[in-house]
Amino acid sequence: MAREDRTLTGPFAATGALSGVRLDAVVTAIQVWSITGVVLDVRSHVAGFDFAEEGFLTPEHAMFYSGFLALAALVAAVSVRRYREGASLGHAPPVGYRLGAVGLVVFALGGPGDLLWHTAFGAESDVEALVSPTHLALATGGVLFATAPLRATLARGGESGWRQAPAVVGLLVAAALAALFSLYAQPAFVVAGAGGTHPAVGLAAVLWQAVLVGGVVAYYLTRLRPTVGAGTLLVGSPVAAVAVVGGSPALAVPAVVAGLLLDAAVWAGVATGSRRRLLGAVAGTTALVTAGQFAAVAVTAGLAWSIHLWAGAVYLAACVGALVGLLAVPAGERRSESI
């Protein structure tokens, strides 16, 4: 039985207008602040952050922890308002934010755990910072909450135009976190194609990048309503974040170009509408990103790989993209349309 409605005062009264797209927009703005802190923090660890010298309360930690506190306070205020208005305790978080609330709890536990971990074992550096259990807990909580606006948008039946921007940014943040926490397997970090990288390591990095890029593009084209501009953000931003952290910013340019071409394909109507178009868009994007990065290495540092290696890597990236796209096609369409 619903409880009697009550007039809310104080901070809870101000949350009355925060619902739907408005709530998603505010959450997204805070997330952009927080993910910027994460990028800077990962870069500092890769550069050889000295925990003993700098301490735990760094500017980077302040950025993403303040973002977490703001998000936690906002979701708590909105949930309390909904509870007082009659929602059950389990349904107090807005639709799409229940799993996000779990992510906030995981993140809240990971923060103090990270401090204790640093105190007990010292600061991580290089790859250690990417696989530290407490850092992975923080990343998991971040992904669960980052995708809350995306789930909320899908629960409402989808949005169009700028109204789905929070969903796009949520997917972007999740992709960026996945890319940042796998730096050791990213072409922009190991610089696939350069003379100092073993071909096996470089190929593994190329294929892992193809999985991430292909997965994001396939999800975007099949779950959201493709909008010009979103492709450039989704393909370019995560790769750019990795390229900056890895010290190879030139490798971000091909991803931005591939994103622009994806947007052009969306605008022309040749990226959606059939299974073949979807597979072509996903495979083409992964191939363009990979080929462009090899071209960037050739221009900036000199391409040490033979044509057998880099050409084969581009083809394999396209194959991985096509396979990921195939998995994203709805089951009904797979039955009704053959390749």
The Cα 52–Cα 46 span in angstroms is 16
The Cα 253–Cα 137 span in angstroms is 31
Number of Cβ atoms within 10 Å of the Cβ of 290: 30
pLDDT bracket for residue 2 (50, 70, 90): very low
pTM of the full predicted structure?
Answer: 0.84
Q: Where are the domains of the chain?
A: 9-166, 182-339
Number of Cβ atoms within 10 Å of the Cβ of 275: 17
Q: What is the mean pLDDT of the chain?
A: 84
Say which residues have a Cβ less than 8 Å from residue 167's Cβ, sequence separation at least 6.
Answer: 24, 149, 150, 152, 153, 154, 159, 224
Position of tokens 């250690």?
A: 128
Interval 267-304: pLDDT, tens = 999 988 888 899 999 999 999 999 999 999 999 988 99
Output DSSP code: residue 164. Answer: G
Residue 86 has pLDDT above 70, yes or no: yes
Interval 121-134: pLDDT, tens = 877 767 787 888 99
pLDDT bracket for residue 45 (50, 70, 90): low
pLDDT bracket for residue 175 (50, 70, 90): very high
Contact 255, 176 (CB under 8 A): no
Please provide residue 46's backbone torsions phi and psi, each rounded to the nearest 5 degrees.
Answer: -65, -35
